[in-house]
Chain A
Amino acid sequence: MQALQTLSIQKPETVAQAIALHRAGESRYLAGGTDLVPNLRRNIQKAQTLIDVSGLAELRGIHAGEQSLRIGAGVTLESLCEDATVRARAPLLAKAASLVAGPTHRICATVGGNLMQDTRCYFYNQSDWWRTTNEYCMKCEGDTCRVAPKSERCYACYSGDLAPALLALGAEADIAGPTGARREPIAALFADDGMRHLKLAPGDLLISIDVPLEAGWTADYEKLRIRGAIDFPLAGIAVALKRDGDRIAGLRVACTGLNSYPGLVSGLDALIGQKPDEAFHAALDKAVRKEIQPMASTLVAAGYRRRVAAGLARRLVERLYAAAA
């Protein structure tokens, strides 16, 4: 067993202390550790200092207001699944959280760590000796991408389950950093680049998520995975829908496990006000396929993941539409 890289762990007591301790290129925040620690052990992520934010009171708690739900970045996925308010008012979030990893991970894994998890690739999430024999790859230690050898960029896949749910719900993130605090839509946190998929500045710490509670909307999430008990999404689709009579009055579709970023499917405006007939579904199918670009970064064929993504979007729209009758 390869020993873990040399590092020190700091335990700040406040958000301000945590941010002050952060040094660009040297520090990383540590929450539940279920993504970061395996990556440190495999030497694919490095750090000289870990700033343990799991004890910060400012990152805890779920607060329900009239129009929105505030979820602390340090809330564990288990608490999110079990919280009565979340289950009643944003059941999509409880469902997406319940599909992350296994039950033991969810006891300590957090909302913040889930959103900010590293991108994944078959050629990257491997032990050091495995990657040595492949002469590494561009994302870590090497120069060539093993998925697309002529590519200048990395296609490692964003595989978090909460992000599509939050995108479909129109959530926003509260962030604190060395330059102050700000609020941004979830989509603004991510970039289409497997090596630099987060748009956060060094030292930026996710504090909480603000989820609007819109009347009349229903939402659901489904993911494709090999093992039902525990696996990352090979394709994940969240749909939020509003029905008015026999028409679709509002529609948001978000995906994960298909690009280097979690994204909202664009070009759905033309579908608003329509009935979900075959022409509707043909247009939805086209819009989903246009948004996604699964690559050979998993053992499951990219073409299959494409078809499943489009199929899941249709299935979810049909189910939500029928249930909203």
Chain B
Amino acid sequence: MVSRKGSGDMNQNTKRILRIQVNGRWREDAVADNQLLLDYLREQLYLTGTKRGCDGGECGACTVLVDGRPRLACCTFAVAVEGCHVETIESQSQDGRLSPLQQAFHEKLGAQCGFCTPGMVMAAEGLLRRNPHPTEAEIREALGGNLCRCTGYVKIVESVQAACGAEKNADEKMEERA
């Protein structure tokens, strides 16, 4: 068995060229084998929207989409998603426009401190792509692994409901404001 000491020396790690699509763009980066997807996104690509909430798999704050499905970036090695498409919260807004989910979280007060919000939005995005008109129970089920310490969840569920019921509305409102 490996001793407790000697862990974490990045220089001793095998590095390889990782070919991966992040938010629609293919890229190649030198990545250490022990690099978690979360650290790769936050520390190498500076995509700090994806949050580190717990020390392993318990809070959902690090949820991103891998090939369109939610995945915990803190439980995933970057090299394990080689060749996949990773989407983070930064991919939601387009040309400075909030996505329908972001707009709904903003309007329905689905975010308070905002720490859980990127994970909530990405988990909800994963749900809506599979099931564009989920019931309240389906929304609660899909967000079951995402913890929020502020909102009490009601406003979050309402936000997702608003986003799928009123995708067009959000767009129209944006246009009215513009």
What's the Cα separation between A43 and B5 when bound, in Å?
A: 10
For A10, the closest partner residue in chain B by CB is B33
Binds A, one of B66-74, B89-97, B104-112: B66-74
Q: Does B142 contact A (CB under 8 A)?
A: yes
B75 touches A102 (CB 8 A): no
Asked if B6 lies at the interface with its beta carbon under 8 angstroms from chain A, I say yes
Total number of B residues with any Cβ neighbor in A under 8 Å = 39
Pairwise interchain contact B4-A141, C-beta atoms closer than 8 A:
yes
Q: Given that A54-B80, A229-B144 are contacting pairs, would A104 and B33 also be in contact in the complex, using a CB cutoff of 8 Å?
A: no
Give A192-226 as 1s and 0s: 1 = Cβ < 8 Å from B's Cβ atoms. 00000000000000000000000000000000000
A229–B140 Cα distance when bound, in Å, is: 9
Q: B21-29, B55-63, B154-162, B163-171: which one contacts chain A?
A: B55-63
Asked whether any CB of chain B lies closer than 8 Å to the CB of A275, the reply is no
Contact of B79 with A9 in the complex, beta carbons under 8 Å: yes
Minimum distance in angstroms from A154 CB to a CB of chain B: 16
Cβ-closest chain A residue relative to B34: A4
Say yes or no: is B76 at the interface (Cβ < 8 Å to chain A).
yes
B61 to chain A, nearest CB (A): 11
Find out whether the CB atom of A37 lies under 8 angstroms from the CB atom of B8. Answer: no
Please indicate which of the listed interface residues B8, B57, B69, B142 has the most CB atoms of chain A within 10 Å of its own CB: B57
Q: Flag if A3 contacts B8 (CB, 8 Å).
A: yes
Q: Are B56 and A108 in contact (CB under 8 A)?
A: no
Helix, strand, loop or mixed for chain A's interface? loop
- Cβ of A38 within 8 Å of any chain B Cβ, yes or no, is yes
Chain A, residues 19-38, CB within 8 Å of chain B (1/0): the string is 00000011000101110011
Q: Assess whether A101 is in contact with B145, with CB atoms less than 8 Å apart.
A: yes
A46 to B12 Cα, complex, angstroms: 16
B44 within 8 A of A: no
Partner pick for B144 among A6, A9, A102, CB 8 A cutoff: A102
Q: Are A34 and B8 in contact (CB under 8 A)?
A: no
**Contact bitstring A136-151, B, C-beta under 8 A = 1, else 0:** 0000010000000000
**Cα distance A7–B35 in the bound complex, in angstroms:** 10
Q: Return the contact of A43 from the options B4, B12, B52 (Cβ within 8 A).
A: B4
B135 at the interface (CB under 8 A from A): no
Known interface pairs A3-B8, A7-B34, A141-B4; A34-B57 also in contact (CB < 8 Å): yes
Interface of chain B residues 119 through 138 with chain A (CB within 8 A)? 123
A6 touching B4 in the complex, CB below 8 Å, given contacts A103-B144, A230-B144: no
User: Within the complex, which residue of B2, B12, B123, B144 is in contact with A47, where a contact is CB–CB below 8 Å?
Assistant: B2
Task: Please name all residues of chain A whose beta carbon is closer than 8 Å to the beta carbon of B60 when the two chains form the complex.
Answer: 102, 104
Measured in the bound complex, the distance between the Cα atoms of B168 and A20 in whole Å is 55
Contact with A along B7-24 (1 / 0, CB 8 A): 111101110000000000
Nearest CB in chain A: distance from B20 CB, A:
14
**A34, B145: Cα distance in complex, Å:** 13
Residues of B contacting A50 in the complex (Cβ-Cβ under 8 angstroms): 33, 77
Q: Which of chain A's residues have a CB closer than 8 A to the CB of B2?
A: 5, 26, 46-48
> For the complex, is B98 an interface residue (Cβ under 8 Å from A)?
no
- A38–B74 Cα distance when bound, in Å, is 8
Cβ of A230: which chain B residues have Cβ within 8 Å of it? 58, 144-145
Cβ of B1 within 8 Å of any chain A Cβ, yes or no, is: yes
* 8 Å CB interface, A40-74 against B: 41-43, 46-48, 50, 52, 54
User: Taking CB as reference atom, which chain B residue is nearest A32?
Assistant: B75
Further 16 A-B residue pairs, CB within 8 A, beyond A3-B8, A33-B80, A229-B145: A3-B9, A4-B35, A5-B8, A6-B13, A7-B34, A9-B79, A25-B1, A37-B57, A38-B75, A46-B2, A101-B57, A101-B145, A104-B60, A104-B70, A104-B145, A127-B55
Residue pairs across A and B with Cβ atoms less than 8 A apart, 25 shown, are: A1-B52, A3-B8, A3-B9, A6-B8, A6-B13, A6-B34, A9-B79, A30-B80, A34-B57, A37-B57, A37-B76, A38-B56, A38-B58, A43-B4, A46-B1, A52-B80, A102-B144, A103-B141, A103-B142, A103-B145, A104-B70, A104-B146, A105-B145, A107-B69, A107-B70
